[in-house]
């Protein structure tokens, strides 16, 4: 009898899992269960949908024909409970779905700050396409919006609302943006760009109360007593993995659903991947929780291969993300953390990795140029992290050098003495190192 | 003016002969901005997803997809085996 695979979730992890299963098992029955009625779309692309850079239909990166070709049976509904002993999943509309092998990829949801009035209509988060649609609908009639939070999503909201012609105010609880990952110059560079776009930044400002009229947001009050009238309050203070289903099944959970390197949970027939999965590293005993697109793809692929009988192990690589911060393409690689807490976030943010916050042992070198900035964290023998803003020409090289922990001893002293020459030094080193690497291959 | 037009076309064809758009899939989040902005509707996103260079013979190598990509996924790279001929 054909194996019955069930995938809960409509994100990157779920889709890559389905594709991986189909590559190994041509006859298995693959079903997906999602709370979203529409097909698979690019979640990071929502930022560009909000700014009007692309229309909604562009977000869908697999056609119905392609999904059909994979032989995936798509179901719309909400799972309420898992029974591992009976191998069934209960759905809210009634009924049960039987499975032989299950993937949990429910993702994570935005955390709402505890403030009076936070439940009012007009308080928005950006988790899904439906959220983006709601924001655009509200923006049509809104004059002013307030954004609170940190990380990438807060900027996506602020820039999206501004692009829609809404006067946008951005609250920072302390003196600068994303202080757990960016250094003060990087924060300032982003904040300058935001202000150029017309976003009004309020530093040392905390949301105290959401004011409402007839169930809708009509303003906010800050901790310092300032009142700003607004029709939208957008919050991005972090995300929390969705654990309710895993808990209903009695699976091991911590910050996320605990999985091993094969993406297997504490139940041998249940796997987990994506924003909800917390991967244990057997070598160190530590665990990581990432909210990164390529990590979700990689975890989904690993889970899919193993669900179909493989023995794949997830490749963590170096946590990295590429994003736009204040209109500047920015790559964050490896360990770049700042030795201070980010008060704008209460949990991990979307497009975020815990690893970035680990403070590097290394020395920092900086190379500032007009509209670009490069920060390298240099360890005793290798580069351990980098933040590349603007010009991305060194991005690919650094990604590989950091991932491979390349021994940079030949240029280390020069890099530290002449940070302004780091582009030239890294390119020369790369040519030699990469040539040697390929030369060594059979 | 005619000469300008001719030179522009020659340059375009030279670019076409020696360079191709190459993606770095790990940076791609499949947003589709590249495909949306391609003047001749090549599905560049598909290439970015699979990591395959844009070898479509219709590609103008106009660079629009490279310039518009918010994540620096795409770049021009010399097409293997094709180099511009040295001019006398």
Give the residue among A161, A189, A156 at the shortest CA–CA distance from A352: A156
Q: In terms of domains, do A303 and A336 share one?
A: no
Helix (H) or strand (E) holding A248: helix A244-248
DSSP A258-282: EE-TT-B-SSTTEEE-GGGEEEE-T
- B62: burial class by Cβ within 10 Å (0-12, 13-18, 19+)? middle
- Answer left, alpha or beta for residue A95, where phi above 0 means left and psi between -120 and 50 means alpha: left
Q: Across the interface, do B71 and A322 touch by the CB < 8 Å criterion?
A: yes
A230, A250: one domain: no
Q: How far apart are CA A291 and CA A345, in angstroms?
A: 14
Query: Count H helices, E strands: chain A?
Result: 11, 28
Mutation for A interface: B71, B74, B75, most A CBs within 10 A: B71
Say what the pLDDT of residue B84 is.
46
Q: Are A93 and A41 in the same domain?
A: yes
Eight-state DSSP code of residue A381? S
Residue A222, pLDDT above cutoff 70: yes
Q: Is A132 a residue whose pLDDT tops 90?
A: yes
A34 shares a domain with A105: yes
A58–B32: do the CB atoms touch at under 8 Å? yes
Could you tell me if residue A312 is inside a domain?
A: no
Establish, for the pair of chains A and B, how many residue pairs have beta carbons separated by less than 8 Å: 51
Residue A334 within a domain: yes
Beta strands in A35-94 (DSSP E): 72-76, 79-83, 88-91
**A275-299 pLDDT, tens digit each:** 999 999 877 788 888 889 999 999 9
CATH classification at residue A145: 3.50.50.60
Give the C-alpha separation, A12 to A16, whole Å. 6
Instruction: Report which DSSP code applies to A253.
Output: B
Residues 6+ apart with CB under 8 A from A345: A149, A150, A151, A180, A237, A238
User: What's the CATH number where A369 sits?
Assistant: 3.30.390.30
Whether the pLDDT of residue A98 is over 90: the answer is yes
Contacts with A159 from chain B: Cβ below 8 Å: none
Give the 3-state secondary structure of residue A52.
Answer: coil
pLDDT at B18: 74
Instruction: Return d(Cα B6, Cα A65) in angstroms, integer.
Output: 43
User: What string of DSSP letters covers B7-74?
Assistant: HHHHHHHHHHHHEEEEE-GGG-----HHHHH-TT---HHHHHHHT--B--TT-----HHHHH-TT--E
Q: How many structural domains is chain A composed of?
A: 3
Separation of alpha carbons A430 and A397, rounded Å: 7
> Can you list the domains of chain B with their CATH numbers?
19-76 (3.30.70.20)
Instruction: Output the pLDDT for position A354.
Output: 67
Question: Per-residue pLDDT tens for A67-85?
Answer: 889 999 999 999 999 999 9
For residue B78, give how far its alpha carbon lies from the nearest alpha carbon of chain A (Å): 16
Contact assignment for B36 to A58 by CB distance below 8 Å: yes
* A117 domain residue, yes or no: no
Cα gap A405→A418, rounded to integer Å: 22
CB contact under 8 A, B29 and A395: no
ipTM above 0.90, yes or no: no
- Least confident span in A181-185, A201-205, A255-259, B15-19: B15-19
The answer to whether the CB of A231 falls within 8 A of the CB of A141 is yes
Lowest mean pLDDT among A25-29, A259-263, B83-87: B83-87
Cα A19 to the chain's mean position, in Å? 21
A21: exposed, middle or buried (C-beta count within 10 Å: 0-12, 13-18, 19+)?
A: buried
Q: Of A328-332, B6-10, B33-37, which one has max mean pLDDT?
A: B33-37
- Binary contact (A61, B71; C-beta < 8 A): no
**Coil, helix or strand for A128?**
coil
Contact B21, B69 (CB under 8 A): no
Per-residue pLDDT at B81 exceeds 70: no
The pTM of the full predicted model, rounded to 2 decimals, is 0.89
A160 plus A226 within the same structural domain: yes
pLDDT at A110: 95
Q: Based on the domain organization, do A360 and A338 belong to the same domain?
A: yes
Q: How far apart are the first and last CA of chain B?
A: 25
Q: Are A420 and A367 in contact (CB under 8 A)?
A: yes
Question: Pick from A200, A221, A237: which residue ends a domain?
Answer: A237
Domain boundary among the residues A270, A286, A307 is at: A307
In a domain, A364, yes or no: yes
The answer to whether residue A398 is domain-embedded is yes
The verdict on A424 and A283 lying in the same domain is: no
Contact (CB, 8 A) for A168 and A161: yes
* Domain-embedded: residue A115: no
Domain region containing A49: 4-109+240-307
- Nearest by CB to residue A54, choosing from B29, B36, B72, is B36
For the stretch A385-407, pLDDT in tens is 999 998 888 998 999 999 999 99
B77 vs A contacts (CB less than 8 Å): none
Domain presence at residue A100? yes
| Partner residues linked to A73 by β-bridges | A31
Determine whether the interchain pair A324/B70 forms a contact, defined as Cβ–Cβ distance below 8 Å: yes
Shared domain check, A79 and A151: no
Residue in B closest to A53 by C-alpha: B33
Residues A372 and A423 in one domain: yes
Encoded tokens for B77 = 């790279």
Mean residue pLDDT of chain A comes to 91
Q: Are residues A129 and A188 in the same domain?
A: yes
Interface mutation vs chain A, best among B50, B70, B73, most A CBs within 10 Å? B70
Q: Would the CB atoms of A59 and B32 count as touching at under 8 Å?
A: yes
* B31 contacts on A by Cβ (under 8 Å): 42, 44-45, 48, 54, 58-59
A315 within a domain of the structure (yes/no): no
Query: Do B76 and B20 contact (CB within 8 A), yes or no?
Result: yes
Task: Point out the residue among A45, A395, A396 whose CB comes nearest to the CB of B32.
Answer: A45
The sign of the dihedral angle between the CA atoms of A121, A122, A123, A127 is: positive
- A206 lies in the same domain as A252: no
Residue A331 CB neighbours (<10 A): 22
Contact A323 B33 (CB under 8 A): no
Do both A294 and A333 map to the same domain?
no
Task: Flag whether pLDDT at A5 surpasses 70.
Answer: yes
Locus of tokens 């959220």: A131
Label residue B85 by pLDDT band (50, 70, 90): very low
- Choose the final residue of a domain: A237, A269, A284: A237
């Amino acid at each position: 009898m054909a194996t019955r695979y069930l995938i809960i979730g409509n994100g990157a992890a779920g889709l890559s899992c389905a594709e991986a299963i189909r590559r190994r098992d041509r006859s298995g029955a693959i079903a997906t269960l999602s709370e979203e009625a529409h097909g698979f779309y690019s979640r990071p692309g929502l930022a560009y949908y909000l700014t009007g850079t692309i229309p909604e239909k562009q977000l869908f990166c697999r056609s119905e024909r392609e999904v059909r070709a994979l032989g995936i049976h798509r179901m719309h509904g909400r799972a309420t409970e898992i029974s591992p002993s009976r191998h069934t999943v209960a759905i809210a509309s009634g009924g049960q779905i039987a499975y032989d092998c299950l993937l949990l990829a429910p993702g994570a949801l935005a955390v709402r700050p505890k403030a009076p009035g936070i439940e009012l209509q007009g308080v928005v988060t950006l988790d899904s396409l439906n959220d983006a649609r709601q924001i655009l609908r509200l923006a049509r009639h809104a004059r002013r919006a307030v954004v609170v939070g940190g990380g990438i999503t807060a900027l996506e909201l602020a820039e999206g609302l501004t692009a829609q012609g809404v006067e946008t105010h951005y609250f920072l609880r302390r003196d600068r943006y994303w202080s757990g990952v960016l250094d003060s110059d990087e924060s300032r560079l982003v904040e300058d760009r935001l202000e150029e776009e017309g976003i009004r930044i309020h530093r040392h400002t905390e949301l105290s109360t959401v004011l409402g009229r007839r169930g809708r947001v009509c303003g906010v009050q800050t901790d310092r007593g300032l009142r700003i009238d607004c029709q939208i309050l957008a919050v991005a203070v972090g995300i929390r993995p969705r654990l309710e289903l895993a808990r209903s099944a009695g699976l091991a959970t911590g910050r996320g659903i605990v999985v091993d390197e094969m993406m297997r949970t504490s139940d041998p027939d249940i796997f987990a991947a994506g924003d909800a999965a917390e991967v244990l590293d057997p070598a160190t005993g530590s665990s990581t929780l990432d909210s990164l697109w390529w990590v979700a793809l990689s975890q989904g692929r690993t889970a899919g291969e193993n669900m179909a009988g493989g023995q794949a192990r997830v490749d963590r690589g170096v946590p990295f993300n590429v994003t736009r911060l204040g209109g500047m393409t920015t790559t964050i690689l490896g360990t770049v953390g700042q030795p201070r807490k980010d008060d704008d976030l209460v949990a991990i943010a979307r497009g975020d990795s815990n690893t970035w916050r680990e403070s590097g042992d290394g020395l920092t070198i900086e190379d500032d140029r007009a509209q670009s900035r490069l920060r390298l964290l240099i360890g005793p023998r290798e580069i351990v992290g980098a933040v590349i803003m603007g010009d991305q020409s060194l991005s690919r090289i650094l990604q590989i050098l950091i991932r491979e922990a390349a021994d940079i001893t030949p240029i280390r002293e020069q890099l530290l003495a002449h940070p302004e020459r780091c582009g030239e030094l890294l390119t020369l080193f790369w040519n030699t190192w990469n040539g040697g690497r390929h030369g060594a291959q059979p | 003016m005619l000469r300008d037009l001719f030179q522009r076309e020659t340059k375009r064809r030279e670019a076409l002969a020696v360079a191709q758009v190459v993606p770095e899939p790990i940076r791609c989040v499949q947003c589709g901005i590249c495909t949306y902005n391609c003047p001749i509707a090549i599905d560049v996103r598909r290439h970015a997803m699979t990591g395959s260079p844009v070898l479509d013979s219709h590609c103008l190598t106009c660079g629009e997809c490279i310039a518009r990509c918010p994540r620096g996924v795409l770049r021009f790279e010399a097409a293997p085996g094709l180099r511009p001929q040295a001019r006398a």
